[in-house]
Amino acid sequence: MRAPINLFFDRVPIGRILNRFSKDLNVADTSLYFSLNSALNTISALLADIIICMYGGSFYVLPLVVVFFVYSYRIQQRYQALNREIVRLGN
């Protein structure tokens, strides 16, 4: 009952809060489309390359593809952690 009241909304002007949310939404709206488009193009090109390699070569390509995906996933996890910290420091 004697806990201090959170005065965040009393201390921070409402305009600053709205500007922050609108900036975040603007970044999401503008970059999400291009990121999704790029990801879908890359995935479809990668799948087409894998199918062509397996059709033209042999099924021995499949273990290499699995190793490549595991390695790529590990790199992605490291990049996401690093990128999250860089964005946090930039704001």
Q: Domain span at residue 23? A: 14-57
Please tell me the predicted confidence (pLDDT) of residue 9.
65
In a domain, 29, yes or no: yes
Q: H helices within the chain, ranges in order?
A: 8-11, 14-56, 61-90
Place of tokens 């690093």: 82
Tens digit of each residue's pLDDT (9 = 90 or more) over 53-91 = 878 877 777 888 889 889 999 999 999 999 889 888 876
Number of domains in the chain: 2
User: In terms of domains, do 33 and 44 share one?
Assistant: yes
Tens digit of each residue's pLDDT (9 = 90 or more) over 9-59 = 667 677 777 777 777 777 777 788 888 889 999 999 988 988 888 788 777
In a domain, 6, yes or no: no
Distance of alpha carbon 54 from alpha carbon 63, whole angstroms:
11
Please tell me the predicted confidence (pLDDT) of residue 87.
84
User: In terms of domains, do 69 and 44 share one?
Assistant: no
In a domain, 79, yes or no: yes
User: In terms of domains, do 25 and 53 share one?
Assistant: yes
Q: Which are the contacts of 53, defined by CB distance < 8 A and separation ≥ 6?
A: 61
